[in-house]
């Protein structure tokens, strides 16, 4: 696998986080079709390399251009191999971004989500000056719930979100701009 070139945005003890590039298509195709990713995050309907490149160039990079953040590729510092994504997503239904993450199954359970999520939250607060960050997850996604709570996010409410069939748990760190209903 050829490692795509993009300067690291964030660095942790074991990882770097960088902007995705079109050459990440193989990685995104694998991640977006992982059964756990589809179950907990949703089916993006991407089934080939062209669709995976489009996900990067038509969704992730424009989000960065518009908001100054996106989902970043998480890779091992030593090898540069991609293992997952972590970053911020702006949803139309929320007044602040939410932290989003997903990792290939073979890299789960190693503390990488915790390590990179801490870096993303620090970046959100100190560099982007975001006072509030949300976290959204399914009610049956125990690993994500544990991670959000470990990061200091507090459960605000359960609510339906557009395009997601079941109600989601909405967590928050920082003072929400409006009290929960």
DSSP string of 121-172, one letter each residue: HHHHHHTS--S-EEEEE-TT-HHHHHHHHHTT-EEEEEE--TT-SS-EEEEE
pLDDT tens string 5-50: 577 899 999 999 999 999 999 999 999 999 999 988 888 999 999 9
Comparing 15-29, 42-56, 102-116, 154-168, the range with the smallest average pLDDT is 154-168
Question: Between vectors from CA 74 to CA 73 and to CA 80, what angle results, nearest 5°?
Answer: 100
- Residue at 54 is within a domain: yes
pLDDT tens string 133-144: 999 999 999 999
Q: Which domain holds residue 93?
A: 8-131
- For residue 62, which of 19, 120, 10 has the smallest C-alpha distance? 19
Output the pLDDT for position 5: 55
Please tell me the distance from the alpha carbon of residue 73 to that of residue 69, in angstroms, as a whole number: 12
Cβ–Cβ under 8 Å, residues 117 and 145: no
Number of structural domains the chain divides into: 1
- Residue at 57 is within a domain: yes
| CATH number of the structural domain spanning residue 62 | 3.40.630.30
């Amino acid at each position: 696998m050829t490692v795509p070139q993009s300067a690291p945005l964030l660095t942790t003890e074991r990882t770097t986080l960088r902007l995705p590039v079109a050459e990440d298509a193989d990685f995104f195709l694998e991640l977006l079709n992982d059964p756990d990713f589809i179950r907990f995050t949703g089916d993006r309907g991407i089934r080939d390399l062209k669709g995976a490149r489009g996900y990067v160039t038509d969704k992730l990079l424009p989000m960065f251009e518009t908001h100054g953040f996106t989902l970043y590729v998480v890779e091992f510092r030593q090898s540069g191999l991609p293992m997952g994504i972590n970053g911020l997503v702006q949803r139309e239904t929320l007044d602040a971004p939410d932290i989003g993450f997903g990792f290939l199954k073979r890299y789960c359970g190693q503390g990488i989500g915790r390590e990179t999520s801490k870096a993303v939250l620090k970046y959100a607060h100190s560099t982007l000056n975001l006072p509030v960050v949300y976290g959204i997850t399914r009610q049956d996604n125990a690993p994500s719930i544990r991670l959000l709570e470990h990061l200091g996010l507090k459960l605000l409410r359960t609510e339906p979100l557009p395009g997601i069939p079941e109600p989601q748990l909405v967590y928050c760190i920082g003072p929400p701009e409006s009290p929960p209903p």
